Structure formats: structure tokens, C-alpha cells
Amino acid sequence: MKDNISQLIEKYLDGTITPAEEKTLMDWYQHRNQTDAEWPSDTVDEEETVRLRMLVRLHQQMEVPIAAPKTSRRIVYYLSAAASVIVLLGIAAYFIYPRLHPAPKPAAIAQVTGDIGPGGNKAILTLDNGDKVVLEDAKNGMISQQGNAAVNKTDSANLLYNNIATEGTTAVVYNTVSTPYGGQYQVTLQDGTKVWLNAGSSLRFPTTFPGNERQVQLSGEAYFEVAKDKAKPFLVTVNTTADKSMTVQVLGTHFNINAYPDEQHHITTLLEGAVKINYGEANGLLVPGKEAVLHKVSGKMDIKEADTEEAVAWKNGYFLFNNDKIENIMRQISRWYNVEITYQGDVSKKAIGGSLSRYKNVSEILRMLELTGAVHFKTEGRRITVMP
């Protein structure tokens, strides 16, 4: 049976399958265990490509759910002929790779000639006097003394602020860590709070917290693990418009804020603890597993169930799409790979679900997206054109 199914898969892909053989293959697939057949391939990557191509082609003719494999905890995805097309991305181990294996460090990725590699540990530290330090070029060790804090680069991806003894009282000074498109970085603040910055983000903060609160300013996206201090609430301020800002107040908790200027919504997702969100007359209190979605134009705030795995996927080394529109997906790709995105034709009604490693070259990411049949791409230098 295994050999027969393998032959049918090969014939299906090269277009030589007969109607009777095609019916046999479809019947098998509807009742199959995905590991039953020996997939016709020479390598693991090729095997998963063959698997996805076959499943997508089968389901283009069958409006039935495509379930993720047993090793995945993701939801069921569908293919449909309806106007809003949801297409499959990530049905086998190749696509859930980031959750099964540790993500490789960006520096370890082999670069293909002419290809665009993934982002990496890149950031710029702006000191209180305006001087800038390119962190990927700085040596490990103490970079500067800023007020009552020593700024240390502990490794290629981490900046640490420590108290130092000084004579007298030193005024509070502010630093800013900014990640470019194609960059990410981690900062441990003087109070022990850890902050992971996604690409295209910045965090402004005092080097020490001598007052009765701990306040920082964020633009872009960051994941926070706030050190507990009941006497000093931790405040994150996000500018939503030129004259309005959102404030997230916590005591000690884990949460993610997605607040890119080019996104229509600012989303705060809570994983642990509790947070209070203030935005003008709109206020909300989050418990773990909930998220607050702030609509920037209307000022309305909705609190709903969150997909916490999706919210922090970027921090854990992969893209996770849950029926996401193509435009939303391409904005994530643009930030991480530092590429320009243009559109040729209407793809606004297309959506994709699944996961991909953030540590692959952009050509591999685009190839996997194309295999869904939802979109096609043309790459010229650092410009990617998206087409139906």
C-alpha cells in the first residue's frame, strides 16, 4: 500500500494520474495517517515541499478542513473557493520546525549569493549626551557610565544596566535603545526588568529608577518581563497619535506590546500577572490570556481572548500566522528582513495560517508562501513585489 500511494503521489504531481487513481489517492488522504506513505523525495526539505504541494492541490478541489499534524498544537486551517481565501501554510514538521527545535542563531545562517538573510542582533544605544553606540560593533564589557548606572554589553544580544556607587546625588539620565529593520535586542534595566525589542522598535528609559514609579517609552514592539516592586509601579507609555498616548501600568508581570506606527491597532497581550491600560476615557484591566486591542482611529478599546503563542512568536524565533491578511504578513517580513514591499494586483482578500522559522533566508520564506497558491512574488534587490 505504501509503495502504491507513493507512486500515486508522484503521478499526481507530474499530471499523469488517471481519474480512477486520483479517486484512490483522495480516498486514502481523507482517511490517512500522514506517516503511512513513503513520500517521494531525496531530502527532508524536498519531502515537505512535495507533501505541501500535494495537500494544497488536493484541497483546491475539496472544501474540507486541513488539520495540522499531531505534533502541532495549532488550529485547523481551511481551503475554500469563497472570496476570502484562507490557505494552508505549515502542515508538516518542516513548518512547525521552530517549535520542535531550538532556533539557530542568526549569525549561523548560510547566506545564498544574492539572497537576503534574516535579521539579527542589531541595535543602536543613544546615550544621555546624544552620542550613539552601534551595539553589534561594540566589545563585550562596560560601554559607559550613565548617571548612577553602568552600561554593560554582556554578549552579542544583551545590554545590562547595573547600579554603581557614586558620591552625592546624580541626576536621572535617559538612554534609548533602537533596533533597525532587520534587528532585535534584549535590555535588562537597572531594576531587573527584561525587555526584548523586535525589529524597527525603540525603548527610552531612565538608567535608574529613584522615584516612586518606573516609566519607559516604547515605539514598535517589545516583550516585557517586569521585576516585581509593589512600591514602584512600572509604566509603559506608547504614543498612538501626535497628541495622544496609551499607558500600560503593572507591578510585576509578563506581557507583549505591539505598537508599530504603521499598524491600525495597538495590541497589549498579557501572559502573566495583571496590567491596567489607560487611553483617554478608555480603560481596561487584563488578566492572563487576554489582550487589549486599541483602535487608533476611533480610540475604542476591545478586550478579548488572546493567542499568546502568536503574540510572542517573534521572540521565540518564528512567524506565526493565524488567518492573517497578506498585507499584515508582509509588514512583518519587511521589518525582519529590511525589505521594501510593493503590490501588483489585489491580494486584500487572501489570508494565511501557519508558522515559519524567522531564521531562514527571505527566498525560502517567500517560496513557502507561494506554495499555498495564495500569492506570488518578484524580488529585485531589496524590493519584493506581491502579486495574486
Q: Same domain for 75 and 193?
A: no
CATH of the domain at 335: 3.55.50.30
Closest by Cα among 105, 114, 85, 95 to 184 = 105
Instruction: For residue range 329-342, list pLDDT tens digits in order.
Output: 999 999 999 999 99
Q: Same domain for 220 and 299?
A: yes
Q: Same domain for 255 and 353?
A: no
- What is the per-residue burial (b if ≥16 Cβ within 10 Å, else e) of 93-130? bbbbbbbeeebeebeeeeeeeeebbbbbbbbbbbbbee
CATH of the domain at 256: 2.60.120.1440
Q: Which three cell numbers stand for residue 342?
A: 510593493
Note the pLDDT of residue 101: 37
Are the CB atoms for 364 and 48 separated by under 8 Å?
Answer: no
Note the pLDDT of residue 114: 66
**Please, how many CA atoms are within 13 Å of residue 294, restricted to the half-sphere of its CB?**
29
* Residue span of the structural domain in which 233 resides: 120-311
Given a cut of 50, the residues of the chain with pLDDT beneath it are: 34-35, 44, 59-113
Note the pLDDT of residue 79: 36
Let me know if residue 110 belongs to a domain: no
Let me know if residue 109 belongs to a domain: no
Q: Same domain for 151 and 50?
A: no
pTM summary value: 0.76
Rounded CA gap, 261 and 43, in Å?
42
What angle in degrees, to the nearest 10, is found between the helix axes of 326-337 and 362-371? 170
Note the pLDDT of residue 361: 94
